[in-house]
Amino acid sequence: MDMYGYNGIFVMKRMFDSRIFLTTNMSETSNPHGCDNGALMDRFGVLIQGLLAVVAFSTLMLKRFREPAAIRRPWRIWFYDTSKQAIGALFIHFANVFLSTLTKEDPCSLYLMNFLLDATLGMLVIWFGVKVVSWVVEYKQLTLLTFGEYGKGCV
């Protein structure tokens, strides 16, 4: 029974037709929230995640080939840069999937909230951390820890 006292079945009468027919409340026949428990790890969920991973990697490849040849990074350095991004993205993805399965409500909405928080506040924290570490590396003159520098043998 909903808050208006209805039990999900309504008697409806058409305006120009004297027939009476029954209809059900849609919230009882359909799932009122985004997805059920386990939806992120069922076959369809894994397929979608795999397709999104292929799209993400393809975007990185496209970005690499769109860089001007004069400033394009060598494959090895490109691999180092993108592997750091991929490892971080995989870690946060699996952490979000794990955290989303802990709820009995809507794991898809919880995953989306975690993703948006990571993509906004998480990026600010990372940016601030990189700035602090860069300042410490420059202040202490620790040239081996400079971001984006992989040594002379990597070029």
pLDDT category, 10, cuts 50, 70, 90?
A: very low
Cβ atoms of 110 and 37 within 8 Å: the answer is no
pLDDT in tens, 20-55: 555 544 444 455 556 877 788 889 989 999 999 999
The yes-or-no verdict on residue 153 having pLDDT over 90 is no
CB burial string 117-139: b at 16+ within 10 A, e below: ebeeeeeeeeeeeeeeeeeeeee
**pLDDT for residue 144:** 81
Instruction: Show me where the domains of the chain are located.
Output: 43-154
Residues pairing with 20 in the sheet: 13
**pLDDT for residue 18:** 55
Residues pairing with 112 in the sheet: none
**pLDDT for residue 29:** 47
The yes-or-no verdict on residue 13 having pLDDT over 70 is no
pLDDT category, 151, cuts 50, 70, 90?
A: low
pLDDT category, 66, cuts 50, 70, 90?
A: very high
pLDDT in tens, 84-132: 889 988 998 999 888 888 877 788 888 888 889 988 999 999 999 999 9
pTM of the model: 0.61
Strands (E), the chain: 9-13, 20-24
